[in-house]
């Protein structure tokens, strides 16, 4: 039995490969939105956050023999919990890490920072209207760090996320509730409509539409702040890492051969 962590497009693509290969698996997502984004995969979808003890118990109860961590590059707490649980249970672990594109662009208006605090500090000097394309997870940090700014937030259109926005004092003039990723043309039209003084985004890779978010901002002479990914866990902690679906497909083929030999 295989278990995947992650409500990302990467995780869904991995699930589709497992479906094609006829493998039994389950997928963990944090919320009902993650269940919806998983689409019509054949594996069971498990909704809810788990700490390392809960993950270890789940792996034991369901006789999981291979875990794939395809969670978002910024979900470091989850990855740490998965790693600890797999070590405890002696379960094979593969980390799927989408490639970065942060070094593909360099521009005087493109600012690369290490965390939310640095992003807020820099945005303080860049005008009153700040467009966040960073998702909902750290909205409270941005609201705290930019108390005098007009925040425009692009987030998923779910009741939970909208309630979070409203609790932070963000109203209908501040919320852009849409599911991405979006094309460069769409983003350019949005920027022209919203008229932000600065765009803040993440190092989301091709799957997250990184270039499609940054390039239109620069083309419109709007400063863009990119929050770099957190430092990955030490590579020696992982059983293996892959950064493409082709590489994962090769691991899957090897897995199936080993199971046939031991079965």
pLDDT, tens only, 61-94:
999 999 999 988 777 888 889 999 999 999 999 9
Tell me, yes or no, whether 88 and 183 share the same domain: no
Question: What is the pLDDT at residue 53?
Answer: 95
Do 135 and 61 share a structural domain? no
Give the range of the structural domain holding residue 57, as residue numbers without chain letter: 2-99+232-262
More confident residue, 233 or 85: 85
Share of the chain above pLDDT 90, in %: 61
CB-CB contact of 215 with 184 (8 Å): yes
Give the residue carrying structure tokens 């740490």: 80
Query: Are the C-beta atoms of 73 and 97 separated by less than 8 Å?
Result: yes
The CATH number of residue 16's host domain is 3.40.50.720
- The mean pLDDT of the chain is 89
Task: Provide the domain count of the chain.
Answer: 2
Quote the pLDDT of residue 238: 55
Residue 89 in contact with residue 56, Cβ under 8 Å? Answer: yes
Q: What is the mean pLDDT of residues 219-246?
A: 80
**Residues 59, 85 contacting (CB under 8 angstroms):** yes
Tell me what pLDDT residue 144 has: 95
Same domain, 52 and 148: no
């Amino acid at each position: 039995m295989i278990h995947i962590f992650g409500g990302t497009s990467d995780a869904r693509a991995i699930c589709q490969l497992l479906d094609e290969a006829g493998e039994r698996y389950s997928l963990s997502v944090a919320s009902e939105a993650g269940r919806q984004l998983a689409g019509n995969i054949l594996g069971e979808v498990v909704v809810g956050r788990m700490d390392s003890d809960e993950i270890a118990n789940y792996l034991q109860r369901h006789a999981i023999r291979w875990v794939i961590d395809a969670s978002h590059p910024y979900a470091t707490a989850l990855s740490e919990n998965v790693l600890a649980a797999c070590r405890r249970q002696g379960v094979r672990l593969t980390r799927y890490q989408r490639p970065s594109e942060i070094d593909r662009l360099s521009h005087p208006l493109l600012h690369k920072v290490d965390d939310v605090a640095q992003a807020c500090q820099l945005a303080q000097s860049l005008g009153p209207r700040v467009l966040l394309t960073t998702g909902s997870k750290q909205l409270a940090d941005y609201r705290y760090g930019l108390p005098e700014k007009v925040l425009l937030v692009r987030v998923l259109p779910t009741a939970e996320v909208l309630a979070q926005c409203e609790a932070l004092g963000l109203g209908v003039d501040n919320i852009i509730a849409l599911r991405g990723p979006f094309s460069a043309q769409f983003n350019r039209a949005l920027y022209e409509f919203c008229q932000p003084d600065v765009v803040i985004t993440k190092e989301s890779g091709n799957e997250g539409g990184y270039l499609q978010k940054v390039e239109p901002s620069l083309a419109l002479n709007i400063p863009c702040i990119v929050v770099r990914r957190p430092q990955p866990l030490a590579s020696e902690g992982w059983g293996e890492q892959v950064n493409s679906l082709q590489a994962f497909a090769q691991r899957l083929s090897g897995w199936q051969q080993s199971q046939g030999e031991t079965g």
